[in-house]
Structure 1
């Protein structure tokens, strides 16, 4: 089998959702033994195309050919029969079941009495996990594993079903570096085994590390396909957004003002004590490895989790934030890491999601001022380039980047003194990233204090004034972002710097 063997070809695929043309006569093909990166801004049509390929949506026009034969894919089961497997960004597994049960789902072995053969299920699970070199106990409950390990279980299931066409949708969005490296090795092994892989990602470094070819979608249309060695990253970005994107991480440093957020000896589950300050016009980033306590520290500050010790002050006033409501009243705001689980009311409208945290000041004698609410919501939508036509749509119908904008718009209405952003650009395209960074600049120009949690080291360095590196629940080093490198951050995050450099423990 050569790399020129076409496993999958999509021709003129079109899909409408009401008046919205989600896919406009797009073409795409995948060859055996290649990684084909599919990139584009949120809403470009990538996910819609993959849903059609998975059998979750039906095309309005066009053809799907597998091994040169026209096929109809009306369900995920039909996709599987054609050797197609999709590893979604939001895992399609059952966290309350064991690893073995997840791997056997729908194909549970039975003994001669007709009873469930649990020993056989565990043996089969070990064999499936061994195929991808995943060291996971099949008897463990899936939900107790890290997201990366859960993803490996889903990949093991796809490989065990002899999938020849594997779609990976933002596979490293929630993975540690070690887990991502393991995934990269697996991708290489599958490619060498003759499988074709569609790799959807917003991370350009992954595209250049893994892909053989790159296809760009924009506004539901196929913009172009290029070999990786024939194109420069700047060209791909230009194709994605329709314009050059320069200085992505540009940060307009302000002259810091008075201290706005003062955290002293704060402690809680998995954190502390930690002490730090964020001044007016300043962006401070909490960096470190997964499990270092970054998110936990941010949640303690906001009141999402209850602190066991320490003091938080906003503009000199002690904040007794035992709940998010108390944190909001004190001038704090937080966009959490998981927008779908923790930030948004998915069935409700975009308008409701943006207005929800400001209703206390948009009512008179207990009656909501609906006209004023609409005016303020649309003003924030305009600022973040959210189409007004989305106002009454359920927020779950928006792309990931636009959902993040809706979460941010909520706090723009509230005008907080301190904005906490936990992984603000995870799963967000390049254009939306730039808009979020511009918003951070705008807030600091107005004297706001911004606290960011980020696993993206170029982002952490590029948009902040100072970096506080965390390890094992404590701040171990403070770095000036103008002088810091990715290696500096990782040295302190891993503890490798202790032999040669002193560490600051707050």
Structure 2
């Protein structure tokens, strides 16, 4: 008997279709893998189910009852719980307080019954095999414990359907094993799960059936026992390699960057050699270690082991300024949070990094900086009326060019680009690709991290695919395609392949 049936679900934002007649059926007591690339529509569909926003059209039936208007309150009442990848816990509250938030037990006098809430929290943890102290502050818990706390909170109020969004991202192997044991026990009691993950081995181990979405459309559902990991990957990716080729092969120089067993927060035992003038792509699932490696090279996170050589000399980078002095620059991901200084002009945003390196010079030469700005404005085709205008007056693509100019202004030889085309339109992306190739032609060495594989196929000489913090496969330019990268980034391919 079906627990959940979603039929012909449609949703648009600002006139742009995000879901187009999507179907999803969940049986009682099953783990159902909801699969698709980033932007496939998984989160939108789950937010409709959780009542975060309504569908434009379609039907939702839960426990054989049609739901006319799904709200967050209605979803909770039905027994649907959404455990997000970004955990929704209050760090300054205790564990038991998070579990009973807005549902506190009270005595007849109206005073909170803390002893009862602590006692029942402990009983819940004992049943689930979760080792967390009910009176511990959440801020003191490990990420893995927070993940289990979220799941425990949902289960305490008899959730019939749990949506788990990338639940194993922050867990080690033992913790994943523990989580799967909990899921299996609850399955036997009739609890159903929607399991959202990109890790193929885990999906095939824990899930019973699957549904694949692509570009907001339903592609296929079925039993995982009747399909291979490679076939699932093909369904997720589809045949969409009709992009215009931009890549040009170039003569590369000597080794300028050598990583030997480099380890730090989020990455471990990374070995990589990069030649002058090359463009090396880094990719993998969110949190796989590729972005964290760039942050380590730039001194934004601590390197805890291994060696790093820049131009043949061993280099120990302990700070961002140290990386800058070593000739390393980084265009950070999330432009709004990490790059834009909204109260400064275009010119001031551009010369900011160079002035950090020239901090001993007490005065800034406005005339010299304007000359440099005009040089990079022409080189990068920055579309801006006046350098005195605020940086926020520019489009996303032109802002990104200004930040690229910011780092070129430091004369860095190694450029680390973390999701450089994030949030900019197609036309601006094409310009960024050409700029990357132009900079490589001029002798700059570039490491570019992105989840968009067609992007790497346009510019990269080779690609390092990350899985769980380390490089699992190096691909040459002609080997870079979405299906191959997905196979390795989800560990669906055999590690022994070469």
Q: TM-score band (shorter)? A: 0.5 to 0.7
Query: Matched residue of 1:13: which SS?
Result: strand
2:176 is the counterpart of 1:185: no
Moved more, 179-188 or 31-40: 179-188
String of CA shifts for 1:66-115, please: whole Å, max 9, x gaps: 11211145432221101100111111111222211111111122344433
Aligned to 2:112: 116
2:59 is the counterpart of 1:63: yes
Contact kept in structure 2, 1:331 and 1:417, CA below 8 Å: no
Aligned to 1:12: 8
Aligned to 2:370: 364
Aligned to 1:152: 148
Shift of 1:146: 2.1
Flag the 1:256–1:365 CA change in 2: closer, same or farther, 3 A: closer
- d(CA) in 2 for partners of 1:295 and 1:237? 23
The one of 17, 32, 35 equivalent to 2:28 is 32
Query: Matched residue of 1:79: which SS?
Result: helix
- d(CA) in 2 for partners of 1:153 and 1:389? 39
Query: Matched residue of 2:336: which SS?
Result: coil
Shift of 1:150: 0.7
- d(CA) in 1 for partners of 2:303 and 2:421? 37
2:85 is the counterpart of 1:89: yes
Moved more, 325-334 or 153-162: 325-334
Flag the 1:327–1:131 CA change in 2: closer, same or farther, 3 A: same
Contact kept in structure 1, 2:281 and 2:456, CA below 8 Å: no
- d(CA) in 1 for partners of 2:424 and 2:279? 32
Contact kept in structure 2, 1:93 and 1:102, CA below 8 Å: yes
Shift of 1:24: 0.9
Aligned to 1:474: none
- d(CA) in 1 for partners of 2:104 and 2:135? 15
2:323 is the counterpart of 1:345: no
- d(CA) in 2 for partners of 1:294 and 1:214? 28
Unmatched tracts of structure 2, length 5 or more? 242-249, 341-345, 355-368, 384-396, 405-416, 477-493
Aligned to 2:461: 442
Contact kept in structure 2, 1:54 and 1:79, CA below 8 Å: yes
Contact kept in structure 2, 1:332 and 1:417, CA below 8 Å: no
- d(CA) in 1 for partners of 2:74 and 2:214? 28
Flag the 1:70–1:128 CA change in 2: closer, same or farther, 3 A: same
Aligned to 1:221: 217
2:136 is the counterpart of 1:140: yes
Q: How many residues align?
A: 416
String of CA shifts for 1:466-494, please: whole Å, max 9, x gaps: xxxxxxxxxxxxxxxxxxx969xxxxxxx
1:410-425 pair list within 5 angstroms: none
1:430-469 pair list within 5 angstroms: 432=452, 434-435=453-454, 438=457, 441-442=460-461, 454-455=467-468, 460-463=471-474
Shift of 1:325: 5.3
Unmatched tracts of structure 1, length 5 or more? 246-253, 350-354, 393-401, 445-449, 466-484, 488-506
